[in-house]
């Protein structure tokens, strides 16, 4: 049975196992898995999601979706047909709905060589029956699912490499009907949803700015180009990482290279109520994608290690006066550094 207010569960893949970690109010430091799942023999796990009661796991492989119990018994499986022997460039993803009733799976069929475009498929979580299927016109390498914390709608951010990023939203009605709504962009990467659900954050595919949007309309509330943070846009970019630290604050990561060719990055805090840049977040992280905000004032780094933000004090940095809210940057032909950067890192 899915709890009325489910705990947040994140997964990591290690030594052929799927490890589930529970993010409750009093667990900090290096986390120990609350449950361990062993995939079927021969399955190459790409992405996984564990039910909040820790009794079932759903995971994708390059050629299907699988649901197992905690003891390893098969609940259901759905194969992607035809079978693909393409080894790289396509990473199917999955998500569990907020109420636990449906599984949403992204199929990058074009890059897998299955013919036609990609698909977004909705399954009944108990039996694996297909409830809805959307034929997409994308040629994606992978995609990130984001579950709205209040209304349960599902956002999908499809990364098409240098061709951009497509964002859609799916909603399931009380009678089982599913509606799919595309957003009118091909150049914005969805980073995360606010914990209160009222807005979401995107980064320009060319990495020139960060924007905050109203949910569900997508209307831009405000946007900040690289210049607003006090950096030269010729040698600094906004990373496709960060997210909401709390309901009122977000982490925006900027990076670049020194004259010696060494990469650097820095986490900035934004007051999402006003658009003001609060300062630099004084934390240690191994790389620009290591820090994963959880929305409750805490964040994860590799390990995983959960950190508390109770004593966090932003370090002020001089930035240009913003005046009115910055509008969306219209330029930005900068190619992404790699297609892999477009996939979410949550399942790694």
Residue pLDDT, tens place only, 323-335: 333 333 333 333 3
pLDDT in tens, 41-50: 999 999 999 9
The encoded tokens of residue 70 equal: 């905690």
Q: Per-residue pLDDT for 315 more than 80?
A: no
Whole-model pTM? Answer: 0.88
CA distance readout (Å), 294 to 140, 242, 309: 26, 10, 11
pLDDT digits over 227-258, tens only? 999 999 999 999 999 999 999 999 999 999 98
74-81 average pLDDT score: 98
> Does position 319 have pLDDT exceeding 60, yes or no?
no
Query: Looking at residues 3-32, what average pLDDT do you find?
Result: 87
Region 331-345: what's the mean pLDDT?
33
Rg (CA), the chain: 20
126 φψ region: left (φ > 0), alpha (ψ -120 to 50), beta (else) = alpha
H or E stretch at 97: none
Query: Tell me, what's the pLDDT at 170?
Result: 97
Each residue of 258-286: pLDDT tens digit?
888 899 999 999 999 999 999 999 898 99
* Cα 19 to Cα 10, 70, 94, 150, distances in angstroms: 8, 11, 16, 26
- Poorest-confidence range of 133-147, 153-167, 312-326? 312-326
Query: From CA 95, how far away is CA 197, in angstroms rounded?
Result: 17
């Amino acid at each position: 049975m899915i709890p009325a207010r489910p705990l947040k569960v994140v997964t990591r893949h290690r030594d052929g196992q799927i490890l589930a970690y529970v993010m409750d109010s009093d667990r900090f430091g290096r986390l120990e898995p609350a449950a361990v799942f062993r995939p079927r023999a021969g399955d190459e796990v790409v992405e996984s999601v564990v039910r909040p009661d820790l009794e079932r796991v759903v995971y994708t492989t390059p050629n299907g979706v699988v649901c197992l119990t905690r003891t390893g018994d098969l609940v259901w499986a759905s194969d992607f047909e035809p079978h693909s022997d393409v080894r790289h460039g396509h990473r199917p993803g999955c998500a569990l709905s907020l109420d636990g009733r449906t599984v949403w799976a992204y199929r990058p069929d074009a890059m897998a060589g299955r013919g036609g475009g990609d698909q977004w498929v909705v399954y009944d979580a108990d039996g694996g029956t297909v409830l809805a299927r959307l034929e997409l016109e994308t040629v994606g390498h992978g995609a990130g699912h984001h579950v709205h914390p209040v209304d349960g709608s599902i956002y999908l951010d499809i990364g098409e490499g240098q061709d951009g990023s497509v964002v859609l939203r799916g909603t399931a009605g009380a009678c089982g009907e599913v509606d799919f709504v595309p957003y009118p962009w091909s150049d914005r990467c969805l980073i995360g949803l606010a914990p209160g659900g009222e807005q979401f954050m995107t980064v320009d595919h060319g990495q020139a700015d960060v924007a905050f949007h109203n949910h569900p309309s997508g209307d831009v509330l405000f946007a900040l180009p690289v210049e607003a943070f006090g950096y030269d846009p010729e040698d600094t970019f906004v990373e496709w990482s960060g997210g909401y630290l709390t309901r009122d604050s977000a982490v925006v990561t900027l990076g670049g290279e020194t004259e010696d060719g060494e990469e650097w990055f820095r986490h900035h805090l934004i007051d999402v109520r006003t658009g003001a840049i609060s300062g630099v977040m004084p934390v240690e992280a191994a790389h620009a994608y290591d820090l994963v905000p959880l929305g409750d004032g805490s964040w994860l780094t590799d390990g995983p290690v959960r950190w508390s933000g109770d004593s966090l004090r932003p370090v002020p940095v001089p930035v240009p006066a913003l005046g009115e809210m910055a509008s969306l940057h219209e330029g930005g032909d900068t190619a992404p550094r790699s297609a892999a950067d477009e996939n979410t890192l949550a399942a790694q």
